[in-house]
Amino acid sequence: MELKAKEEERINKIRMESRVPNDSFANLKRGYLFMYNLVQFLGFSWIFVNMTVRLFILGKDSFYDTFHTMADMMYFCQMLAVVEIINALLRVTRSPVIPTLIQFFGRNIILFVIIGSLEEMQSKAVVFFIFYLWSTIEIFRYPFYMLTCIDIEWKLLTWIRYSIWIPCYPLGCLAEAVSIIQSIPLFSETGKFSFTLPYPLNITVKFSFFLQIYLIMLFLGLSVNFRHLYKQRRRRYGPKKRKTN
């Protein structure tokens, strides 16, 4: 009996010791994810609040200098979003890799290439709508993830998180498409990012040609992400299957 008791005590001790690293890792992961989502929430909230205040004060005039007043924070938030790809690849989060990649590269092409590299694009009204729609989605998405990290659910926030994309995502995609269409003649005129194939071809390939292809890919990416978001919402709020006896 004494030997059996000692053996059980030893096994219990091993089990307790094996739990400690797992619990420590889980707490570390939660803290890391909470801080990441908090930083992104604060960044996009800053953009959203400032744009809203400027819209009420300046009216339509605020459309045309959005980039010059909000670009630095948007650059920061969108570059930081690479963390979401790393998290998905390493399975730190359950986010699917493909939709995460589509959103990251899609937004950054618009931000850094279409708008950031052309001064003529930076003063266009479409920039306001792109930034505003992006931030509208994120000021609900990131706090939802923050609360999830600490096992808290706010039903209103949850519903908004799974519903806000329905109007905002297609409108955001439409605004991005408008910015690409507006940039195509500018890239054609300036020859920016265009290149000439080596001899004997000597053919100049204009960057605007790739933009026309990307415009088609943009709507293909929309369908992929739209389907993913729809499945998420259906799992959350769809009709539950009744148990059959």
Give me the number of domains the chain comprises: 1
Q: Is residue 224 part of a domain?
A: yes
Q: Is residue 2 part of a domain?
A: no
pLDDT in tens, the chain (245 residues): 555 555 555 554 444 344 334 456 778 889 999 999 999 999 999 999 999 999 999 999 999 999 999 999 999 999 999 999 999 999 888 888 988 999 999 999 999 999 999 999 999 999 999 999 999 999 999 999 999 998 888 999 999 999 999 999 999 999 999 999 999 999 988 888 887 777 777 788 889 889 999 999 998 888 888 888 888 888 888 776 554 44
Q: Is residue 7 part of a domain?
A: no
Q: Among the options 64, 75, 169, 214, which is catalytic?
A: 169
Range of the domain at 81: 24-237
Per the annotation, the verdict on 230 as an active-site residue is no
Q: Is residue 162 part of a domain?
A: yes
pLDDT given at position 35: 96
* Angstrom distances, CA of residue 134 to CA of 35, 37, 211, 227: 20, 15, 21, 19
Q: Is residue 9 part of a domain?
A: no
Per the annotation, the verdict on 199 as an active-site residue is no
Q: Is residue 65 part of a domain?
A: yes
Q: Is residue 8 part of a domain?
A: no
Q: Is residue 173 part of a domain?
A: yes
Q: Among the options 36, 132, 145, 176, which is catalytic?
A: 176
Instruction: Print the SS3 string covering the chain.
Output: CHHHHHHHHHHHHHHHHHHHHHHHHHHHHHHHHHHHHHHHHHHHHHHHHHHHHHHHHHHHHHHHHHHHHHHHHHHHHHHHCHHHHHHHHCCCCCCCHHHHHHHHHHHHHHHHHHHCCCHHHHCCCHHHHHHHHHHHHHHHHHHHHHHHHCCCCCHHHHHHHCCCHHHHHHHHHHHHHHHHHHHHHHHHHHCCCCEECCCCCCCEECHHHHHHHHHHHHHHHHHHHHHHHHHHHHHHHCCCCCCCC
